[in-house]
Every structure is written in C-alpha cells, then in structure tokens.
A and B are shown apart, each in its own frame.
Chain A
C-alpha cells in the first residue's frame, strides 16, 4: 500500500515536472559514411556523426493579411536562421558532430530521407519544427478560469520545439525530442536548444572512425 502511494505521488510529481519528451529507436543505428565498429553501443545516435539540418518548419499565428507583409516574412526568416544556427553550433561545439545546414525543406518520407542523405553524403538528417503562439488575451485568461484551467493545461502540454533525427541508411526516425509549453511570439522568446539536445549522445570521435 505504501509503495503504491509513493508510486502515485512520484507519478504526479513527474507529470508536474515534465516539460520535455524524448523518444529513441530500439533498433540498431546504422551509419553510411564509414564502417561502424568499436565500443559505442548499437543504439547510440552518436554513430551518425555527419548530419545536415534542413530548413526549420515554423508555425506562427496571425491574420492572413499580416502573414503576407514583408516584415512578417523577414521575421520568419530571422527566427528560422537563428534557431538553425544555434542548433548547428550546439551540435558541433558541445556534441562533436560534423553538421552543416541546407536550405531545403525536410524530406517527406523514408525514401526521400534515404535519397537526400545519400546525395548529401551524410549519416543523418535533422528536422526542426518550432511553434510560436500569440500571447493570451485578458479574455482568454478569464475564460480559462471558467473552463477549469483546461486551456492552461493544454498550453503547458503544447509542443514549442521538436527536433527529429533520421538516419540515411533506412530513412527511419532514430531520435526525437519535444519541448513542451506554449511559447509566446515575442523577440524575447528563445527556444531551449540546450534542453532539447543536452541528453543526446556525443558523436563518435573522429579517432574511432578511421
């Protein structure tokens, strides 16, 4: 009985504290640019040391007229580029990957991933999806009270950043991380790249890929 209570309490605490979800494949991760051997475990994303980051898929909320303005488009381009630069910098400096960015949209299916990966000479493709939402209005905040905080819970559970890594060898997704909590569309909002990529395995060092 005591154990069950402790487990329930732990579950509630984890639920309250969780702001990110990570998923990784159980299947072996296969590189394509070198012959994998050595001490790294078969399921490690570090076996894909050469990566490309595709164009960031950005979702922002606004009226259609506003979305057509040059300022809106320019702001979108700035957000996309800054986020991608930050991801590339983190993967290279902190995780030891060989990463470059390409101005192509994410490949659609497994076959497209394989084709793109082989064409680009990389072990894997990184797709990034970022979502910014309008800050809550006073009306929305008041209605949240009457709706028993359900909109607030939905907002806390909404994904603001999703990073996915696909391997070239099979085109499958091998790793994915989602950062949760609505992110307001403002210049001060910065996605948590460190939190998203912090637990990723380092790339297999160059000395072990000869």
Chain B
C-alpha cells in the first residue's frame, strides 16, 4: 500500500519545512534579540564605568605630582652636593588608557617622552613605554584584564593602575636623570 509516491512525500515535506524554519527563526529571535540587547546595554555600562574611572584618575597631574615628589626626595641631596647647572625637565604624555589586546581583553598602556635640557642645551631624551608589544627595559608588564575585571567596583582596577603607572613612570624618569648625571 502506498500513501504517497516518493515525489509526493518530499513535496509535502517541502511544504512543511518553510513554516518550521520560520517558527524556529521566530523562537530563536525571541530568545536572542533581548539577550543581545541586554548584553549590549551591560557592555555599554561597563565602558561608561571604565571611562569615568579613567577621567577621574587625572593621570597627567598624578604623574607630575609623583615626579616632583621623587625629584625633591631623591635628587635634592645630589643637587646640593654639586654646583651643576639647573636642568629643565619636560614630560610629554603621548598616550595612556585602555587598548584592546583581544576581543575580550583590555590592557592599560602608557607612553611618555622625557626631554631634559641643561644650560639651554639638549641633555636627555627618551621615550618610556608600558605596553604589550614594546616596553621600556625596566617597565613592568602592562595591566591586562577582561572588560568585567577592568570595570568592576566602578573601575577600581583602572584607577589603581593609573596611580601605579604614574608612580612607576616617575621612578623611571628619576632613574634616568640620576644615571645621566653620573660622571
């Protein structure tokens, strides 16, 4: 007994399949669309937290304060013992902030130029970098973490890292000035 010939059966299946696909798409869409929207708004909030933490860190001022403090405490005695000319030091912040290392990971990077002139003449110029690809020989590895890790506790890792980088870069600047001063 034959209910359908081969062609008829496949024709029936062919008629049934598009509604099945369509219902699958509708159900999938109902699940995925709100999920994507929620994830997107969560990601946006994470970025907002990181950006506001970065703004609040006031990196340039922290770097200046740390450099002055270290210069006063670590270079003052050396300066008193010599009758050297005054040295004019400039720090140019080229870049600092969060760079993407991979789709799910961010790294805090910083790059500054140290320019020092003595008696109006060029005396020292060096770029100090904390980054994933290239970094100064005495620089620590950059702080990397997932988006969630960077954003948690209102961007605590971003704020901490900015403060640590300011101190580390200040220490690196003072080391270079001290080494350059050695006879």
B39:A207 contact, CB within 8 angstroms: no
Interface band, chain B:
20 to 34
B148 within 8 A of A: yes
Chain A nearest CB, measured from B170 CB (Å): 9
The chain A residue sitting closest to B132, CB to CB, is A94
The answer, yes or no, to whether B38 is at the interface (CB within 8 Å) is yes
From 139 to 163 in chain B, residues with beta carbon under 8 angstroms from any chain A beta carbon are: 140-146, 148-149, 156-157, 160-161, 163
Interface of B is mostly: helix
What 0/1 pattern do residues 160 to 183 of B give for CB contact below 8 A with A?
110110111001100100000000
A207-B171, A207-B172 known; A199 vs B145 contact (CB < 8 Å):
yes
Decide if B143 touches A202 in the complex (CB within 8 Å).
Answer: yes
CB distance from B171 to the nearest CB of A (A): 4
Which B residues touch A68, using CB under 8 A?
Answer: none
**Given the known A-B contacts A198-B105, A207-B168, are A94 and B141 also in contact in the complex, defined by CB atoms under 8 Å?**
yes
User: CA A38 – CA B145 in complex, angstroms?
Assistant: 22
Contact partner, A39, options B143, B144, B160, Cβ 8 Å = B160
Nearest CB of chain B from residue A107's CB, rounded to whole Å: 28
Q: Which residues of B contact A (CB under 8 A)?
A: 34-35, 38-39, 42, 105, 138, 140-146, 148-149, 156-157, 160-161, 163-164, 166-168, 171-172, 175
Which A residues form the contact surface with B (CB < 8 A)? 6, 9-10, 13, 38-41, 44, 93-96, 198-199, 201-208
Q: Please, could you name 30 A-B residue pairs with CB atoms under 8 Å apart, sorted by A?
A: A9-B34, A9-B35, A10-B38, A10-B42, A13-B38, A38-B164, A39-B160, A39-B164, A39-B166, A41-B160, A94-B141, A94-B144, A96-B140, A96-B141, A198-B105, A198-B144, A201-B143, A201-B157, A202-B141, A203-B140, A204-B164, A205-B140, A205-B164, A207-B138, A207-B140, A207-B175, A208-B164, A208-B167, A208-B168, A208-B171
